[in-house]
Amino acid sequence: MTVGLVLSGGGMRGIAHIGAIKALEEYKIPITHVAGSSAGAIVGAFYAYGYDYEKILEFFESVQLLDITKYAINKPGFIDAEKFYNNFKSYLIEDSFSALKKELYITATNILDGKLNVFNKGELIKPLIASSAIPGVFAPVEIDSSYYVDGGVLNNFPVTLLKPKCDIIIGVYVNGYQTIDIKHLKHSHNVIERALKLKSVKEDMVKFEYCDVIIQPEGLDKYGTFDKKNSKAIFKLGYEAAKNALLKSNTLKAKFDLKIN
């Protein structure tokens, strides 16, 4: 039996994915395939490499995203995303998809031709960095003479990559929204950001029907894309939401003995 795990983008809200992985480990759900975008790609890659939730959380908490030593020089972005290579290499010693213990698919957006690219072989770290390179903040990442940015630009929840490959699909979505007050829209850029997020989330939610189990932690919208200081709270939201969703799933109950280790 093949079991797929789909992990959405969401910046530091992606730490909720790590909480979900803790629940999957406790209930012994045998994930065979992983697809992820942006933060979901990073979490998915570390998981597919063989790390448990504690080591993945350790990585996220150790990396300084707005590090002055990583400022971009003569590149279109504030931060040179490629300067994070050594941070990844210290954990992903063998920089190759072939080193993974689970099948992995990573999305990134080709900023030149406007097409979505799916990486699942060859070098691992640069596609990971590209998939999470938020446009305007991080400079595009060069891979094979082309340039890539965040996979979430074109596909923030790549469930369709696993649909033909997996018997069961579990999706974790960490990029929702809540109703807000007009006072939160003080400037034109606030309105633009809100409109773009609404469009993105609505497009993603249509894909929920492809999942046998959907894990969507509540309360994540109050945490920002770079909100590292609340990592423990974000992790807990992901863990609790995953436990509840897994235990309520008749599909999983029919296939697995859902008992915590």
Q: What is the C-alpha to C-alpha distance for residues 88 and 47, in angstroms, rounded to an integer?
A: 13
| Buried-state track 35-47, b at ≥16 Cβ within 10 A, e below 16 | bbbbbbbbbbbbb
Of 8, 80, 150, 204, the catalytic one is: 150
| Buried-state track 222-247, b at ≥16 Cβ within 10 A, e below 16 | ebebebbebbeebbbbbbbbbbebbe
Contacts of 195 (CB under 8 A, 6+ apart): none
Q: What is the C-alpha to C-alpha distance for residues 234 and 217, in angstroms, rounded to an integer?
A: 9
Q: Tokens 């992990």 — which residue?
A: 7
Q: Which two tokens stand for residue 209?
A: 């029907």
Biggest CA pair distance of the chain: 56
Q: 9 near 149, Cβ under 8 Å? A: no
204 is catalytic: no
Of 37, 38, 131, 249, the catalytic one is: 38
231 is catalytic: no
Q: 239 near 20, Cβ under 8 Å? A: yes
The residues that are catalytic are 38, 150
